[in-house]
Amino acid sequence: MNDHAMNLQACIDDLGTLLAFDTTSHRSNRPLIDWVANRLEGQGYRVMVQQAPDEDKANLFASIGPEDQGGLMLSAHSDVVPVAGQNWQSDPFVLREADGRLYGRGSADMKGFIACMLQAAPHFAASALKAPVHLALSYNEETNMGGMKQLAAALAQTAHPPRACVIGEPTSMQVVVANKGAAIYRFKVRGFEVHSSLRDQGVSAVEAAAQIIVRSQMIQDRMRQDLRHDGFDFPYSSIHVGRIAGGTAHNITAKDCEFMLEIRALPGRAAAPFIAELKLWCEQELLPAMRSIASVSDVQIEEITDSPSLDERGNNRLARAMMPLCACHATGRVSFGTEGGILQDAGIPTIICGPGQISVAHQADEFVEISQLKACLHYLGQLRGQLERDPSCFF
């Protein structure tokens, strides 16, 4: 009897409840965390709610099974991206079912996996587990990954931290063993405004920012000659400017300009050296020229987030053990960022495997297929059986 399949409708109902919690990253996730915490406590889980240091958000870490060993962690982020400016066909925070799909913000990324975790939870609790299972929910994955950084630091200090982790980001239930890092930096350029007819007496922050961006593209050209990994859709590290704003009028040299620069570094590379190169060029080449006209000229670089890549060299054993459980025949690599590298750096081997498609994440009318939830529930049932029989294959 497949008890997990019988809970498919309950899983869909739970997804509807989860979607109704508006956990857009600029809002609190506490209502969702408290709801999940109360539910798991009622099932016998040992629950820790970890408050964020400077905002009304929290992580959740819940455990069941033996307390004297590390065990396996199933992890998801609780926050979602905004819906502002998107043309949804229905309320993004109300589940809509149509043609075998479940629509709503976060359905794929990644409340579908949370719903599956919640359906599996009582079955883990009722099992004779030979290794513990931990269920984790983090905050702010979509912004600075501060939630998992806080949780991973705390886990590293415990007597028995998890020995392996599966993050349920949408991978169509295929095992992903590597992802690029995700680093975001804000550049603030200060110039000196004058009437454009006197432009040589002023410093245009917009033009200075443009020079930095051109310099960044020279770095991108060099990245194409550097480390290559054909397992990724774009097989190189990447540097990209996605947003820029500055200036006040067409006939005034711009006093200020700000842009956001993103670096997605391959495993084996880090963003910091590329940023250091840009900073040095600004200090040695750009700023002296700007300050020769106006001493107030400046370039400030602010790190928003710098999350490490997930390196497959640290999770081969875990991946091999997981692949048969989800009918995966070949491992994959993705360019989108995950919390996997944070956990790996904390000593916890991690893979990515969850329901849904990344291509619909962050989009209007985001959805997860019902068949994907069914496949995930089956996988978690297989996982439970392995943890009852012999969990050593994972560690």
How far lies 371's CA from each of 173, 355, 377, in Å? Answer: 11, 9, 10
Instruction: List active site positions.
Output: 79, 141
Q: Across the chain, where does the E strand assignment appear?
A: 46-51, 58-64, 72-77, 96-98, 101-103, 133-138, 164-167, 176-179, 182-190, 238-246, 256-264, 298-307, 332-334, 350-352, 367-369
HSE-up (13 A, CA, CB side) for residue 27: 14
3-state secondary structure (DSSP) of residue 337? coil
Angle at 73 between CA 67 and CA 78, to 5 degrees: 125
What single letter denotes the amino acid at residue 111?
K
**CA–CA separation, 54 vs 114, rounded Å?**
25
Structure tokens at 186: 């804000």
Closest by Cα among 375, 373, 388 to 327:
375
| Side chain identity at residue 378, one-letter code | H
CB atoms within 10 A of CB 54: 7
**Cα 128 to Cα 51: distance, rounded to the nearest angstrom:** 31
Alpha-carbon 264 to chain mean position: 13
Q: In sequence order, what are the residues at sequence separation of 6 or more whose Cβ sits closer than 8 angstroms to the Cβ of residue 189? A: 205, 206, 208, 209, 212, 246, 256, 257, 258, 298, 299
Q: Are 115 and 14 in contact (CB under 8 A)?
A: yes
Report yes or no: 179 and 335 within 8 Å, Cβ to Cβ: yes
| Cα-trace Rg, the chain | 23
